[in-house]
Structure 1
Amino acid sequence: MDLKEIQNLIRFVAKSGASEVKLEMDDVKITIKTGDDDKAPTTFLQQMPAMQMAPQAPAAAAPAPAPEAAAPVAPVAPAEDENSKYITIKSPIIGTFYRKPAPDKPMFVEVGKQISEGDVLCVIEAMKLFNEIESEVSGTIVKILVDDSSPVEFDQPLFLVDPS
């Protein structure tokens, strides 16, 4: 079972409303518990890219990263004020973000590129389907907020666009 499948399982459990799911396969045992706190599955997902599967079994390990993750949020708030003049293009779906149509092709957009409505900005792969994400605004790409080949969530900011 790869990381992507585990993340999809976590999302499914979180949306289903189940309080606990246990999955045992040949060499993998996974237990996903959800509580009253909606942040618990998110904390679990943040730990997943680091492949810290073993420490997640104890309940004490999950709350520990949450305060650490909350601390960096404060410095981000002033940056959002500076970026308030920009339009944020967000992910319409959950999947894997790709900046180019194929490994041997050029990137769809770069920082500083002028875009128009309908221009393809990226591709998001969801369930083996590649969905082209088109711009709904015209302007200049100011910042690309996601790394190539990274998993993205629904409504996650992908690009900052200067409409002027």
Structure 2
Amino acid sequence: MDIKEIQNLIKFVAKSGASEVKLEMEDVKITIKTGPGYTETTYVQAAPVAQVAPQVVATPVSQPITETAAPVTKTAENISNYITVKSPIIGTFYRKPSPDKPNFVEVGSEINAGDVLCVIEAMKLFNEIESEVSGKIVKILVDNASPVEFDQPLFLVDPS
């Protein structure tokens, strides 16, 4: 079972409303528990060499929207012209590739399709999130090192 299948399983369980799902195969055991206020995911895979099995606990938290240097005089009509870049996975949002590097993008940055906007850490893997559109970053909607949910808005992009 690869990481993409596990991520899809987590998304499915989160949307289904099930309180607990256990999946056991020859070399993989996955338990996903959900309830009011938390989602817990445990992933264990037998390794040929004696190693500690990785465990992941994802705790969804409602996120405050952070405005970063955007003009306050925007109208609803202008905002509707923006494209929202959403999180494709559950994980932790990071604006930088590492703590000593600069942010991938800032408000006002010009981006092209395929440019890396951020990384989301999920199950000890750092997934680069690339832009599907060209334009200019108008707002960054999530704080650095914050947990994000599947389909949560991350950026507003002006495609003009």
Pairwise TM-score range, normalised by the shorter structure: 0.5 to 0.7
Q: CA offset at residue 16 of structure 1?
A: 6.6
The alpha-carbon distance between structure 1 residues 14 and 121, as it changes in their structure 2 partners (threshold 3 A), is: closer
Residue 7 of structure 1 corresponds to which residue in structure 2?
none
Residue 101 of structure 1 corresponds to which residue in structure 2?
97
The alpha-carbon distance between structure 1 residues 128 and 139, as it changes in their structure 2 partners (threshold 3 A), is: same
RMSD over aligned Cα, in angstroms?
3.4
SS in 2 for 1:136: coil
**Retained in 2: the 8 A contact 1:14–1:41?**
no
Rounded to whole Å, the distance in 1 between the matches of 2:144 and 2:79 is 22
Residue 117 of structure 1 corresponds to which residue in structure 2?
113
Rounded to whole Å, the distance in 2 between the matches of 1:41 and 1:102 is 28
Q: CA offset at residue 83 of structure 1?
A: 1.6
Residue 155 of structure 2 corresponds to which residue in structure 1?
159
Residue 149 of structure 1 corresponds to which residue in structure 2?
145
CA deviations over 1:22-68 (Å, ceiling 9, x no partner): xxxxxxxxx9656xxxxx769x9448x9xxxxxxxxxxxxxxxxxxx
Rounded to whole Å, the distance in 2 between the matches of 1:150 and 1:19 is 24
> Sequence identity, in percent?
75
Q: Which runs of 5+ in 2 are unaligned?
A: 1-9, 22-32, 40-58, 64-74
SS in 2 for 1:107: coil
Matches within 5 A, 1:56-71: none
Residue 6 of structure 1 corresponds to which residue in structure 2?
none
**Retained in 2: the 8 A contact 1:108–1:120?**
yes
Paired amino acid for 1:109: V
TM-score, normalized by length of structure 2? 0.57
TM-score, normalized by length of structure 1? 0.56
The alpha-carbon distance between structure 1 residues 80 and 152, as it changes in their structure 2 partners (threshold 3 A), is: farther
- Greater strand share, structure number: 2
Give the length in aligned residue pairs: 111
Rounded to whole Å, the distance in 2 between the matches of 1:18 and 1:155 is 19
SS in 2 for 1:118: coil
